[in-house]
Amino acid sequence: MQHEPDRQSCRRILEMLATGLVSSKHLQPWAVGLVEQLDTPPSWLRELATVTYLGDVKQCLRDHVLTPPLEDFDQEQLTDYHVACLLYRYDRRELSWATTLSSAGLHTDGNDASEPCEYFYDLLNELEDNENDAFVEQSQVAIVRQRFATELTLVQRDFEPLRAAFRRGIAEGLRASRTPPRSTLPNWTESDFGELGWHDCRVHGWSIAEAQHGQATLTLDLDYITQWEQPVDGRYTFHVAPATLVFFEVFGLTMTLDYEGSAGGAFAIEGIEREERVNAAGYRDYLYTIRIHDPPTGSIQFEGNRFRQVLRASPIRTTNQYLDPAVRAPLIQRATDT
């Protein structure tokens, strides 16, 4: 059984991202794998499993790292770790030695570090004065690698599960011949709200996960209608795909569902509305209202700002506004022993 990564580990991952040693192609499949294995995956990890834009990945990790109660992070150790990430990229032939020294000097300049920026700039000057001589480079590499041996060992330990996740994600993408790679499936955010419509989209399930600062993450598992075709012989045709709609930083959630006279189950969305609000401090967010019909009546209302909707498979052309359970790509399933 995997364990939730602690905030010290996540803080080191931010350094790996800053150096370019890892990217969202490492972090998303890594998060997906953890969500599958954890009994109760935390909201930040669930969000990380849905984002692909590098800025969103970094923001998700920062939010988790800075969640109260705050932890102390040793800046000198983090700077040395950053340098070790650069060295590891050099060992992987991703950086030249001159670039490694220059980047290390730039990062240590102004940050607490066990070695000052002059340490790296002096080595760079020596390398340049010797016209990038291979013997000088090898000698410098041996000295610097020995100096940061402990940090390099830690970087390698942290990097291995991320590399394994990266390779797993690539392999699974290549095997999914009938499904486009995840990155090519449409996804939308709050900036696309005006282009989206949820009328008659069927919601099969929902969950609420506790987030930071007294907020929550609301997740809806739905069949999203991407296209309505004009009726033929009096019947519409629809393009429908399983989708995950996640609202972040949800506050003041109220939900009313009236199943009187029906057996319960999935419900359809009449529409989603939002109204911009500005509080006394000038902070802007939205009041979201999800109106529900067929078979229950009701609504879901909350304050929030960000959301992301992703398709989990390509749309299917059908005469129904919903998908047969047998063809729905499910939400992430947790691993079991059976």
Looking at residue 59, its pLDDT comes to 84
Residue 134 pLDDT: 94
Mean per-residue pLDDT, 46-50: 86
User: Residue 178: its pLDDT value, please?
Assistant: 40
Tokens of 204: 């099969």
My answer on whether 105 and 115 are in the same domain is: yes
338 in helix, strand or coil? coil
Predicted confidence (pLDDT) per residue in 275-321, tens digit:
998 877 777 889 999 999 876 788 999 999 899 999 888 888 888 89
Query: Bridge partners of 239?
Result: 227, 317
Q: Is 91 domain-assigned?
A: yes
**Residue in 177, 11, 14, 19 with CA at minimum distance from that of residue 84:** 19
* CA-wise closest residue to 25 among 155, 168, 160: 168
Q: Domain count of the chain?
A: 3
Q: Which domain holds residue 24?
A: 7-73+153-175
Average confidence score pLDDT of the chain: 86
Band (211; pLDDT cuts 50, 70, 90): confident
238 and 191 in a common domain: yes
3-state secondary structure (DSSP) of residue 42 = coil
| Residues 318, 321, 325, 328, CA torsion sign | positive
Q: Cis omega (within 30 of 0) on the bond before 41? A: no
**239 in a domain, yes or no?**
yes
Measured distance CA(314)–CA(292) in Å, rounded: 25
pLDDT digits (tens, 9 = 90+) for 126-172: 999 999 999 999 999 999 999 999 999 999 999 999 999 999 888 77
Residues 311 and 276 in one domain: yes
Do 197 and 282 fall within a single domain? yes
Q: Are residues 62 and 126 in the same domain?
A: no
pLDDT at 330: 66
